Structure 1
Amino acid sequence: MAIVRKMEKLTLERDSSHSEVNATYTVVLGDGGEKYLQVDTYGSAKRQETGKKSQSIRFSPEAIEQLKSIISGL
C-alpha cells in the first residue's frame, strides 16, 4: 500500500486504454484523528483471480485537498 502526500501534474506523451475494474473507498483515521481516504481496486474480468484486491492507495489530508482542487478544475 502507498500513502500519497503530494501529487504533481504530468502530461502523458501517449494515452493508453485501461480496463474497467470495481473500486471501494474507506475513510481511515490516523493516530492523531486526521482522516485519510483509501481507495482499493479489484481485479478486472481479464485477470486470473477476478475480484481480488489488486491496488490500494491511501491519500493524506494534504493530498485530499489537492484532489478537491484538481476535481473542481475539471
Structure 2
Amino acid sequence: MLATELERSHEDPERLLTAALVIADGDVNRFRSAIRLARTDWRDLLVAGGLGHPDWPQVLDEELKPR
C-alpha cells in the first residue's frame, strides 16, 4: 500500500503527496507516474514537485492555499 511505502521514507506524507499532486497538475496519468517515481526514490519526487529544497514549507503552503 502506498501509505505504508511513504511512511518508510520517514518524510512528511503531506509533503510527498503534495509533490505528486503538483506534478500531476490534474492529469491522472501524470499522478500515476509521480507515484511510480515515489516508489523508486521519494527524494526525486520531492525535487520534481518543487518540494526538495529548504524552502519547501513555503512552497507547500503556496501549493495548498485556496485558489
TM-score norm. by structure 1 comes to 0.28
TM-score norm. by structure 2 comes to 0.30
Larger radius of gyration: 1
More helix by share: 2
